[in-house]
Structure 1
Amino acid sequence: MYTSHSFSSLLQTTNAPLTNTASALLSGLKIRFDQSWYICGSLALSEGSNPIRSINISPEGLEYQVLFRAALLVANNNQAKPMVVTVGFPNNTYRLFKDLAREKLPGSYQIQWDAEVYGGNPVQPASVQVDQIEVLPEIVSCMIALRKGAHKINGSFFIISLGFGTFETGLSTDEGVVENAMESAYGIHYAVNLLREEILQTHSMSFKNVQQLNEAFRDGYLYINRKKIDLVAIRARAIKIYYKEVVLPMLHLVISDQNLKKTDRIFVCGGGAHYSELLDCITKEFGEFCQISIVEQPETLAAQGYLLNSLRFTEGTEREPVGIDMGNIETRVTLLKEL
């Protein structure tokens, strides 16, 4: 039904000529914006000295504008069709940024990129027409994906999104979204920072930001001064503190006696769903009276919902539906799969 492409959300300016340093566009994103060149994604991680990406950025900010153009370039795929693009924001910034996104993101783009990075010849700028921008709360997009996508979930359910930037909750019924159950709090970066603080007590680290440390957090180890440092026990402690201080208080607020009358089903999505330590905490607290299900490919659910939302506006037209999840760790571009 759909295909998803992702690249790291880190970027950095560069003046260096890069030739044959990547194998394809997705791993060799070098974009020109506002008189400067930027390397994004895998290229920023491999060739950059200090790639950056602020948490929950504004759509008018430079970082968002560069990464959005990179996502459009990936989505374009040499097609001339105008696009309907859906993006989203966490609930705590949705009202702040939705009108900015609708104002700043539609229009005609001439995207200049460097194909020589992956062995290509110099190319003309890509012409991309974004006809329409739709904006959703991230958790609502996850609900759409569960109901309208391959899962085909009916009835009422809670949904928990364990993202890097934010932890989101929601309650969906056949009648609609229950607003008082939509909450946002600190995401997994809270636990990553706890791990960083503990490591710094005994080691000097060269990591410049939490996104770069997130890979070590996920893998459970890192190398410092050519010595492998096991992070599993530190990560487990950090996750338990994060759960106790951030996740549990919000879940108690949302999974209330009143809301449990509507449903006892909980779906878990987001990249944090891959951490068994966090899932064990949730299951221990709520598993006796709730049915807890982990969504397949949990980190892609929001992007699927964005695509399905765009599809509503393109059926019967020549326009292309696109879903772009501008995540704090990964930017995901979701398209309809060609049959």
Structure 2
Amino acid sequence: MLKTKSFPSVFETNTTELVDVADGLLEGLKVQVDDEQYVVGDLALREGTAPHKGINNAPSDLDYRLLLRAGLLVAQAGGADTPLTLTTGFPYSSYRVHRRSAGNLIEGEQEIEFDGRPFGEGEHSIVGVDIADVEVLPEIEGHVTATREGEIEEDDPFFAVSLGYGTFESVLSLPSGPVQRTATSGHGLRYATSMMAERLREKHYLDMPTEHQIDMAMRRGTVVAGRQRYDLSELRQKVLRIYYNDVVSPALKKAFDDSDFGQTRKMYLAGGGALYTELVDAFDDEFGEVLSLEVVPDPAAHVSRGFALHAAGVNGKSPDHAVGLDLGNANTSVTLFDRERA
């Protein structure tokens, strides 16, 4: 059985002494990189003033290195056995560029420095995480692997569509493997949230909200401005429909032809965007008569779960060594194999 821990992919520099402000490590991440301390995830949202996120970062970027260390810390605390076999990924459009540098960055002994005081531990803590094997895949392959080898156990051909914050991706998956011709990447949900932010600023003073705050307001369907709460459901429906019509639908029309639809009757949606019923309805309007449309269980963690299943398939050891790490633009998800209990 798989278990996934996730935290928001946001961070902020912080040198404040934070003591006993979180229930555990996941809620109290304060990680050191290049002699600077950063609050990460939920702690950044609670204690930071303007926590921010990066979009589709390269392995050399601070954002990537910081979230990587935080993710490894969560994996180590979650009980993963070392040496780890870790699988992670990048959008299809960039994974060839980054896979070698990411592998070189991750593989080997990682020494992670963090401040444990936010959740009741020591001020300066160091843990070592030994990573023996690293696999870097296109993120859409994580979706396919989770759909075929995970809870769904799909054996037939299907269209895989992943609706992430930074990118959306899709591919036709056959039992023999993906059809490379159909693989596509496009703008993610950030397109819709940026549009929402512009329209909100036309009517309300939003007190300099960060990109993550706009993203969260869109998820909740409400925003507070001038100490008044406003319903965003109508605006959310509008920007998501525009996003689908302007970005998603044209890309899928270009990627999939009639011969592809002749090979399958199924489409599986994953990623955080699959949690929006407005977006799922747009897919159903276009494909409902020709395909069976299904949102995968726990869509935001689906790619990470596929990465963990892939890692377990290549490490040659117990699945307890396998880790799937999805450094997403909205959330970072760490998936391990839960130990069997007697």
TM-score by length of 1: 0.96
Partner of 2:92: 91
CA distance in 1, matches of 2:133, 2:81: 15
Partner of 2:211: 210
Contact persistence 2:157–2:173 (CA under 8 A): yes
> How many corresponding residue pairs?
339
Shift of 1:317: 5.7
CA distance in 1, matches of 2:319, 2:275: 38
Identity of aligned residues (%): 34
**2:329 paired with 1:336:** no
Partner of 1:196: 197
Contact persistence 1:82–1:319 (CA under 8 A): no
Secondary structure in 2 matching 1:152: coil
Shift of 1:314: 2.4
TM-score by length of 2: 0.96
Secondary structure in 2 matching 1:328: coil
Partner of 1:41: 41
Partner of 1:302: 303
Secondary structure in 2 matching 1:204: coil
CA RMSD of aligned residues (A): 1.5
For residues 197-239 of structure 1, what are the alpha-carbon distances to aligned partners after superposition, in whole Å with 9 as ceiling and x for unaligned? 1011111213443222111001100111111011111111101
Secondary structure in 2 matching 1:172: strand
CA distance in 2, matches of 1:310, 1:80: 13
CA distance in 1, matches of 2:255, 2:267: 11
Unaligned runs of 5+ in 1: none
Secondary structure in 2 matching 1:150: coil
Shift of 1:50: 1.4
Secondary structure in 2 matching 1:63: helix
Secondary structure in 2 matching 1:312: helix
Partner of 2:51: 51
CA distance in 1, matches of 2:244, 2:81: 47
Secondary structure in 2 matching 1:182: strand
Partner of 1:68: 68
Partner AA of 2:244 in structure 1: Y
Partner AA of 2:185 in structure 1: S
Correspondence 1:150-189 to 2 at 5 A: 150-189=151-190
For residues 136-184 of structure 1, what are the alpha-carbon distances to aligned partners after superposition, in whole Å with 9 as ceiling and x for unaligned? 1011111011111121100211011111111111110011110011100
Correspondence 1:1-339 to 2 at 5 A: 1-77=1-77, 81-122=82-123, 124-316=125-317, 320-339=321-340
Shift of 1:315: 3.2
For residues 283-328 of structure 1, what are the alpha-carbon distances to aligned partners after superposition, in whole Å with 9 as ceiling and x for unaligned? 1111111111111111111001100111022233697110000000
Name the stretch that deviates more: 97-106 or 179-188: 97-106
Secondary structure in 1 matching 2:181: helix
